[in-house]
Amino acid sequence: MNGYKKQGFYELIYKNQRFSFLQYIRKDIICDVSYITLKNVITGETLTFDKSEIRGFRVSGAEATAS
């Protein structure tokens, strides 16, 4: 989960659901819990994920890897 870039698109698996076409917005740490906020560029929806619940992550076009 290291190496987030401000540009590019991501895909991830969160609680057994796949999310695609995501663009990085920010990373927050609140009460020792890391959160990643991404925006779906197709729907415009902004999503925040608990980093510990992310099971797979990849930059579009790369293989998904476990976190």
64 pLDDT exceeds 80? Answer: no
pLDDT for the residue numbered 67: 46
CB 34 within 8 A of CB 51: yes
Q: How far apart are CA 39 and CA 25, in angstroms?
A: 7
Q: For 1-50, what is each residue's pLDDT tens digit?
A: 555 555 678 999 999 999 999 999 999 999 999 999 999 999 999 999 99
Q: How far apart are CA 30 and CA 16, in angstroms?
A: 24
